[in-house]
A and B are shown apart, each in its own frame.
Chain A
């Protein structure tokens, strides 16, 4: 109820939020393998975790679910190329005649014992990726260079980064010294049964007769990755397509809008994708 009202009002909330304890409100996540056990073990030993996997396969959803499961607040920072270390750690501000230090999201998470999630870390500048190093080994400290301080991390603090190997480029890659500090969990698109289950759960109003071909078509479309398709059809895209269908768009149009048009401008490739979709829905 509170969540609903907040959505209506657009309420400003602090980034450190304990998950709602109500069991019904837990984010839906369907395990694909042993990722939950691995994550829980890593959390138990407070080891930093790296989530690897293609776009739209459920990394962020997984983390939301885990934060809820472990009852820790989750602080998400989407990294971009202008993200500096002070954006993460904090900076001095002027207030009247004096200067005031303001903590950045990472510092706050470290203090509050939250799970800090640095999404798409490769996009961030190298100086910001390096400051997490002391946090990720036995020291578990965050140095505040400008203040000349160090913060010992809260005992519940955990650092999680996501890393999409597709974005691994000649120019942009995590430094090996950064990479090797993490426990890696590999994600991929879930298998067919799980994918169906996910869609059923996300879009309960979709007819079963449309669900199976949609999932099959999406999986078939994935085979064209590397044949001109940069990003394969994601589970998220399938959920979108299912939503469009549930909203009354014909399957073919819905798939075209959600699975084909966004991923390619190449007419022949689009035609091949449509051919797959048509085969499943004809």
Chain B
């Protein structure tokens, strides 16, 4: 075709276009100028494409024409993308896709390059072929977001998994894509597929739920993401962090989980003056370590000391710090004076206070500031106003590490490096700096990026003021007596306070409807044991079946009532790892003694029994002594043999704890509640049993009516003692009443799984068997328990009861038989005694 013919053809097509639509012709003409430099043949193909697309779908054509100039500018070509655009002709109603395609085209060329663009278009066109709406979603998704800094591979990584999901479960790309990109950005590409698979399942069960999942709006989506969070996962290293805190600072702190989630920005360690709140994960181990040390340093070096906070508020012009309903100090008034510039001041104040505290920590922990600086140097600085603060804080840190040489910039901060500096000094200096600084104004959103790794906003939470200095620095301490808050009363999560109740059987809360016991609800210990819905662990573990029936002995009729008491196996969901750690620390010396005692008992080798009268080898030494003494004219005993026997005692034991409401009572001897001792006793028992090596189980029981006996298996024979088990023991609470017979029968049944021939059931109780429906007839359940014990004996299981009830000797002999019970009226001894009792029994 000659050039004249080509020109003529172009004119023909343009004329056709004009005939079809004025707008089409006008748009083509206006873009033509950009296309013409590529030659007439190119122009011809392009105008043909314009016409074809416009005829196929007016909007597609318009989008193509209008996007051409930009596409041409970005790619310096015409034909490749023109030909790609022509492929949209294959589908009806593809104009949305063309629209998105043309819009993203320039960016695709810029960020993916020529070959990348081809692949990008290819992926999208495949999707159009598969499912047009998905194709539309694909092309509408901004290329920059799609690639997320990983180029074309990034796009393939995020898009290709969805092909399979679409094939198997009809998961459209539009539903998947935006969430998947966010998940990838937050957690990395590995997290996308498991997340999407779960989402597809949910989508099939319910559309709304599924969509919420994919939009990352539902809790299950978030929970799933948190489980797959990359970086240093705090829950898995809680004990390590606790040990590190103890090693450096010499005290134990509760480490609680904060409500942070990846979409809330940067993860920080926070404190409320009593406990540390840790996010699910921190970027790496070093940052986690530094952050925990730094936050603990704030507590150790009095950032939240009541006296200083009072002084701080006085300096800010308020007589008393405002307290919230839980007697925590709220910070807001301190910063309110700065109005819109509040964040700027807060940051300066934080940097001053952090400098002071880090200086103190640095004296305590070698290389701490150097590590902090190293982490800061390694961190990527996010552009914007936050960067200025970050750099300033880093330079300041460097200055302190270098020993604070004379420097006009940092000179005002020198007082903070003194050993006597406190938070009020930091506040004063921050105010001075604030007046003279050239640090830029900053918005709340950008604030997170201003902190060095390991540091965090100091006023992030309302705090319980600390009282460490009362006696030490401020004289008598008597002036605090009228204060509402006493340091020892402060507990994190005050809403979980447990209310002591009367003994089972007279439970005043009996008529109160069931309530959730796992959440933040009020009366732990009186609700029904199984929450209506459970958050977190063991989600959805609800029990609807009636459980397992057992007969009950009725002494009045002298017969068994068949299928009378119903036992349900349940899981305890209240976890308290901090309590477990605290108890283990408290009883560490006792535990250590026990372990040693056990070690000496443990058969580690064939124990030779020397000087036996009978045996399979001669005891050489004894024989010689024998002969010698005989020759010397004495008449020695003929105990000259040696035996080798393994002193292995094959015993399986279940420790069954009475978990009725009465254990929530305060100890008569003071110092906490009965349940504290029971927790400690069970923990120590479990730890010692690990040392003994005998198979053992832990369980608890509570009841309400005959058809509702709850049996909580805390640890089965075949399970190992994990930190989860310990946390369950730490979170043990009392609830309801004591239908002991049914529980014993169920425990006896559980011995089926026990591997040993000798079987022992240890019952830990604090009162007589009783339930709400025994009609005030104590004897009824006594007799039933007695029968249950007898049945256990018939089944070859030895039952032994340890009671905390001082009046136990009145009724226990009838139930368990003489010598099969022990009254421990000195309850503080329970934790130490319990394993000892077992060791004595197993001999």
What is the interface of chain A, defined by CB distance below 8 A to chain B?
82, 86, 91-94, 98-99, 146, 166-172, 213, 216, 220-221, 223-224, 226-228, 230, 268-269, 271-272, 275-276, 279-280, 282
Q: How far is the CA of A172 from the CA of B600 in the complex (A)?
A: 9
Known: A91-B625, A213-B366, A272-B247; 17 extra A-B contacts, CB below 8 A, are A92-B625, A92-B628, A92-B629, A93-B624, A94-B624, A94-B628, A166-B592, A171-B597, A223-B246, A224-B243, A227-B246, A230-B595, A268-B239, A271-B240, A272-B243, A280-B366, A282-B370
Q: How far is the CA of A203 from the CA of B610 in the complex (A)?
A: 45
Q: Are A279 and B629 in contact (CB under 8 A)?
A: no
Q: Which residues of A contact B367 (CB under 8 A)?
A: 279-280, 282
Summarize A's interface: helix, strand, loop or mixed: mixed
Q: Which 8 A-B pairs have the closest CB atoms?
A: A272-B243, A92-B628, A226-B588, A170-B597, A169-B596, A169-B597, A268-B240, A268-B239
Q: How far is the CA of A60 from the CA of B267 in the complex (A)?
A: 53
Residue from A146, A275, A280 whose CB has the most chain B CB atoms within 10 Å = A275
Q: Are A170 and B836 in contact (CB under 8 A)?
A: yes
What is the interface of chain B, defined by CB distance below 8 A to chain A?
237, 239-240, 243-244, 246-248, 250, 289, 365-368, 370-371, 585, 588-589, 592-597, 600-601, 610, 621, 624-625, 627-629, 631-632, 836, 839
Q: Report B236 CB to chain A, min CB distance, Å.
A: 9
Q: Which residues of A contact B289 (CB under 8 A)?
A: 275
Q: How far is the CA of A94 from the CA of B628 in the complex (A)?
A: 6
Q: Which residue of A lies closest to B839 (CB)?
A: A170
Q: Which residues of A contact B594 (CB under 8 A)?
A: 170
Q: How far is the CA of A209 from the CA of B830 in the complex (A)?
A: 50
Q: Are A93 and B628 in contact (CB under 8 A)?
A: yes
Q: Report A102 CB to chain B, min CB distance, Å.
A: 10
Given A216-B366, A224-B243, A279-B365; A167-B628 close (CB under 8 Å)? no
Q: Which residue of A lies closest to B374 (CB)?
A: A282
Q: Which residue of A lies closest to B627 (CB)?
A: A94
Q: How far is the CA of A91 from the CA of B601 in the complex (A)?
A: 30
Q: Which residue of B lies closest to A87 (CB)?
A: B621
Q: Are A223 and B588 in contact (CB under 8 A)?
A: no
Listed by A's residue number, 13 A-B pairs whose Cβ atoms lie within 8 Å are A91-B624, A92-B629, A93-B624, A98-B631, A99-B631, A99-B632, A166-B592, A171-B601, A227-B243, A269-B243, A275-B244, A275-B289, A279-B367
Q: Are A279 and B628 in contact (CB under 8 A)?
A: no
Q: Which residues of A contact B597 (CB under 8 A)?
A: 169-172
Q: How far is the CA of A220 from the CA of B366 in the complex (A)?
A: 11
Given A92-B628, A92-B632, A146-B629; A282-B247 close (CB under 8 Å)? no
Given A271-B240, A282-B367; A223-B628 close (CB under 8 Å)? no
Q: How far is the CA of A272 from the CA of B238 in the complex (A)?
A: 11
Summarize B's interface: helix, strand, loop or mixed: helix
Given A91-B625, A94-B631, A99-B628; A279-B585 close (CB under 8 Å)? no
Q: Report A104 CB to chain B, min CB distance, Å.
A: 13
Q: Which residues of B contact A272 (CB under 8 A)?
A: 240, 243-244, 247
Q: Which residues of B contact A167 (CB under 8 A)?
A: 596
Q: How far is the CA of A271 from the CA of B250 in the complex (A)?
A: 17
Q: Are A282 and B371 in contact (CB under 8 A)?
A: yes
Q: Report A129 CB to chain B, min CB distance, Å.
A: 16
Q: Which residues of B contact A94 (CB under 8 A)?
A: 624, 627-628, 631
Q: Are B593 and A82 in contact (CB under 8 A)?
A: no
Q: How far is the CA of A223 from the CA of B249 in the complex (A)?
A: 9
Q: Which residues of B contact A280 (CB under 8 A)?
A: 366-367
Q: Report A32 CB to chain B, min CB distance, Å.
A: 22
Q: How far is the CA of A223 from the CA of B244 in the complex (A)?
A: 10
Q: Report A113 CB to chain B, min CB distance, Å.
A: 29
Q: Report B626 CB to chain A, min CB distance, Å.
A: 10
Q: How far is the CA of A86 from the CA of B367 in the complex (A)?
A: 57
Q: Report B599 CB to chain A, min CB distance, Å.
A: 8
Q: How far is the CA of A220 from the CA of B836 in the complex (A)?
A: 33
Q: Which residues of A contact B246 (CB under 8 A)?
A: 223-224, 227
Q: Which residue of B lies closest to A276 (CB)?
A: B247
Q: Which residues of A contact B366 (CB under 8 A)?
A: 213, 216, 279-280
Q: Report B587 CB to chain A, min CB distance, Å.
A: 10
Q: Are B610 and A82 in contact (CB under 8 A)?
A: yes
Q: How far is the CA of A98 from the CA of B621 in the complex (A)?
A: 17
Q: How far is the CA of A92 from the CA of B621 in the complex (A)?
A: 10
Q: Are B243 and A226 in contact (CB under 8 A)?
A: no
Q: Which residues of B contact A220 (CB under 8 A)?
A: 247-248
Q: Are A223 and B247 in contact (CB under 8 A)?
A: yes
Q: How far is the CA of A168 from the CA of B248 in the complex (A)?
A: 28
Q: Which residues of A contact B629 (CB under 8 A)?
A: 92, 146
Q: How far is the CA of A268 from the CA of B242 in the complex (A)?
A: 10
Q: Report A124 CB to chain B, min CB distance, Å.
A: 13
Q: Which residue of B lies closest to A278 (CB)?
A: B367
Q: How far is the CA of A268 from the CA of B595 in the complex (A)?
A: 20
Q: Which residue of A lies closest to B589 (CB)?
A: A226
Q: Which residues of A contact B596 (CB under 8 A)?
A: 166-167, 169, 172
Q: Which residue of A lies closest to B365 (CB)?
A: A279
Q: Are B247 and A221 in contact (CB under 8 A)?
A: yes
Q: Which residues of B contact A213 (CB under 8 A)?
A: 366
Residue from B366, B585, B588, B589 whose CB has the most chain A CB atoms within 10 Å = B366
Q: Which residue of B lies closest to A98 (CB)?
A: B631
Q: How far is the CA of A92 from the CA of B633 in the complex (A)?
A: 12
Q: Report B685 CB to chain A, min CB distance, Å.
A: 15
Q: Which of A221, A223, A226, A268 touches B592 (beta carbons < 8 Å)?
A: A226
Q: Which residues of A contact B627 (CB under 8 A)?
A: 94
Q: How far is the CA of A139 from the CA of B239 in the complex (A)?
A: 56
Q: Which residue of B lies closest to A223 (CB)?
A: B247
Q: How far is the CA of A226 from the CA of B624 in the complex (A)?
A: 47
Q: Which residues of A contact B239 (CB under 8 A)?
A: 268
Q: Which residue of B lies closest to A167 (CB)?
A: B596
Q: Which of B247, B593, B610 touches A169 (beta carbons < 8 Å)?
A: B593
Q: Which residue of A lies closest to B587 (CB)?
A: A226
Q: Report B249 CB to chain A, min CB distance, Å.
A: 9
Q: Which residues of B contact A271 (CB under 8 A)?
A: 237, 240
Q: Which residues of A contact B621 (CB under 8 A)?
A: 91
Q: Which residues of A contact B610 (CB under 8 A)?
A: 82
Q: Which residues of A contact B595 (CB under 8 A)?
A: 230
Q: Are B625 and A230 in contact (CB under 8 A)?
A: no
Q: Which residues of B contact A98 (CB under 8 A)?
A: 631
Q: How far is the CA of A206 from the CA of B585 in the complex (A)?
A: 36
Q: Report A247 CB to chain B, min CB distance, Å.
A: 24
Q: Which residue of A lies closest to B636 (CB)?
A: A146
Q: Which residue of B lies closest to A171 (CB)?
A: B597
Q: Report A266 CB to chain B, min CB distance, Å.
A: 9
Q: How far is the CA of A279 from the CA of B369 in the complex (A)?
A: 10
Q: How far is the CA of A86 from the CA of B636 in the complex (A)?
A: 15
Q: How far is the CA of A230 from the CA of B596 in the complex (A)?
A: 10
Q: Which of B368, B624, B836 touches A279 (beta carbons < 8 Å)?
A: B368
Q: How far is the CA of A282 from the CA of B368 in the complex (A)?
A: 9
Q: Which residues of B contact A282 (CB under 8 A)?
A: 367, 370-371
Q: Are A171 and B600 in contact (CB under 8 A)?
A: yes
Q: Which residues of A contact B244 (CB under 8 A)?
A: 272, 275-276
Q: Report A240 CB to chain B, min CB distance, Å.
A: 21
Q: How far is the CA of A227 from the CA of B592 in the complex (A)?
A: 10
Q: Report B364 CB to chain A, min CB distance, Å.
A: 10
Q: Which residues of A contact B371 (CB under 8 A)?
A: 279, 282
Q: Are B600 and A169 in contact (CB under 8 A)?
A: yes
Q: Which residue of A lies closest to B241 (CB)?
A: A272
Given A275-B289, A279-B368; A226-B585 close (CB under 8 Å)? yes
Q: How far is the CA of A269 from the CA of B594 in the complex (A)?
A: 20
Q: Are A227 and B585 in contact (CB under 8 A)?
A: yes
Q: Are A86 and B625 in contact (CB under 8 A)?
A: yes
Q: How far is the CA of A172 from the CA of B597 in the complex (A)?
A: 8
Q: How far is the CA of A233 from the CA of B839 in the complex (A)?
A: 30
Q: How far is the CA of A168 from the CA of B592 in the complex (A)?
A: 10
Q: Which of A170, A223, A268 touches B593 (beta carbons < 8 Å)?
A: A170
Q: Report A4 CB to chain B, min CB distance, Å.
A: 37
Q: Which residues of B contact A86 (CB under 8 A)?
A: 625
Q: Which residues of B contact A224 (CB under 8 A)?
A: 243, 246-247
